[in-house]
Amino acid sequence: MKIPVPDVLLPADQLGRVHFIGIGGAALSGIAKIMAQRGLHVTGSDDNDTPFLPALRALGVTCHLGYAAEHVGDADTVVVTTAAREDNPEVLEATRRGLRMLPRSAGLASVMAAKQVLAVAGTHGKTTTTSLLTMALLEAGADPTYAIGAVLVQTGSNAHDGAGHLFVAEADESDGAFLVYRPRAGIVTNVEADHLDVWGTEEAYRAAFVEFVDTLDTDGFLVCCVDDEGAASLADLARDKGREVIGVGESAAADLRAVDLVFEGSNSRFTVVQGDETLGTVELQIPGRHYVLDALAALALGLRLGFAFDALATGLAGFTGSRRRMERKGEVAGVRVYDSYAHHPVEIAGDLQAARAVAGKGRLIVCYQPHLVSRTRIFGTAMGEALGVADEVVVLDVYVAREDPDPDVTGRLVADAVPLPAESVRFIPDRVDAAAVLVEIARPGDMVLTLGAGDVTEVGPQVLELLAPREGNGSA
C-alpha cells in the first residue's frame, strides 16, 4: 500500500516508540537496526522469519511473526512496507488509533537527519555500488552510516550506524523513495525502463530521475555512468541546470575512465584515468564489466569527497560481494553453484556475461525465476532472449509480490522466448522440482546460476544438498 510522505520529516529521535510492519525486509530491517543502535524503542512484525531478523533480535528488538493488531503495542510511529495490504490488521489498528504512519522512504529519511547523505540510484547495480562505496569509505577511515538492500559480506549486515558524518544509502526508485532524501551527492548507474506498474510509462520513469537530480543539495554533485544512454542524458540535463557532474565509464566522454580491463575467472582489473593522468589500478574480486563500472562510480564519489585513491582502491579490492549478487553458494561433486538477484533483462545479460567468465570451460546452467506479474508481462520476452547466452535454462513460475496472480502471465512466457534448442529449455513451475532437474543436468565442471528476486535463492542450497551423494560415491 502507498503511505504518503508527511510534509514535515522528523528526525528519528523525535518519533517516539517505533513499530515496523514488514520488519523482515531488506529495507525496513536496515532502518530498524540503525534506530535500535541509537537506543530507540523498536518493534516489528513480518510474515516470515527472514535472515535479517536475528541481528535485530540480538539488539533487543521484538520481532513478531504474523500480523495482529496487538503487535502495534504502545507505538507512537508505524513504518509500513509498500508490500502491506490495506486490510493488514496492524495497518488498520494504527489507522484506528491515529498513529503517525510513515512509508519506508520517510523512515529512512528520519535516520539520515544531521548526516551528509550519499545516495546511490539507478535501474540496475544500486546494491553493488552502494556496497562498494561503503567498503571504500570504511577503508578510507570515514566510518559511514549505511543502509543497503542486501547483506554486505564483509560486515555481515545490511545497515550500521557509523560514527562519521556520512550516510551511504541505496536510493530505490521503484516507489519514488529516492525523491525524499535530499542528498549531498548522488550516483546514477543507469536509467532504463522498469517498475512501470508504478510509474505507468517509460517517460514518467525517466522523469523521476530528473526530479532526483533536483533533490540534490545546491552545492552537491552527481556521478553518472555515461556509457549508459539514459544516465548520459541525465548528466547532460544536470549540467544544463548548472549541476556539477562527474561522468564515469569507458567512453572518451567520461571524466574518470576505466581502461585496460582484464577479466580472469571471478576477478577483474582495470586502470583509472582522469584526463591525461593515470591514477592507478583497481583490482576487484567480482567478475563482469558492469561491476567495473559500479566500482568506478564509487571511486569517483570518494575522490570528489577528498579521500585518497590508494585507500579507496584498497577498499574496493577487499569487497567480496553482497548477498545475492553473484554470490558463490558452494561446490559439490565438481559443480559450482552461484546465486544472483538479476530480474530485469539488462541485469540478466550482465550477470550471464560475468558468469561465462567464471564458468570457464564448463557449461553455464541457469535457473531463472521471473519476478512480478507486471514486469513479466512487459519484459518476459526480453528476459527469455537474454537467457539464451546460457547452455541450459530452467525457468520457474512467476514470483508473485505486491500483485495478484494472472493465469495468462506465467514463466512459460519467458521459457518460450529463450533462443536455445527445445531440449535445453525447461519450464518447471515448482522450485523443488527444478532443483532435482538441475542436479540431473549438471556435470563436473559446470556452473549452476540461480537468478531472480524471489525465493529462487533457496534452489542453490537444495542443489548442493542433492549433489552430496554423488560426491560421496566418487562420481565427480
Among 204, 194, 19, 13, residue whose Cα is nearest residue 101:
19
What does the DSSP 8-state code read for residue 193? -
Residue type, position 75, single letter: A
Phi-psi sector, 221: left (phi>0), alpha (psi -120 to 50), beta: beta
DSSP string, 326-363: SEEEEEETTEEEEEE---SHHHHHHHHHHHHHHHTTS-
Residue linked to cell 530507540: 40
Distance between CA atoms of 22 and 84, rounded to whole angstroms?
7
Q: What is the DSSP string of 147-185?
A: EEEEEETTTTEEEE--SSSEEEEE---TTSGGGSS--SE
**Distance from CA of residue 279 to its chain's centroid?**
29
Distance (Å, rounded) from C-alpha 109 to C-alpha 362? 46
Strand order in the sheet with 18-21: 62-65, 42-46, 18-21, 77-80, 100-103
Query: How far is Cα 156 from Cα 139, in angstroms, rounded to an integer?
Result: 16
Q: What are phi and psi of 63, to 5 degrees?
A: -120, 105
* Cβ contact 272:295 at 8 Å: no
Q: Which residues pair with 392 in a beta bridge?
A: 365
> Which residues form the catalytic set?
126-127, 170
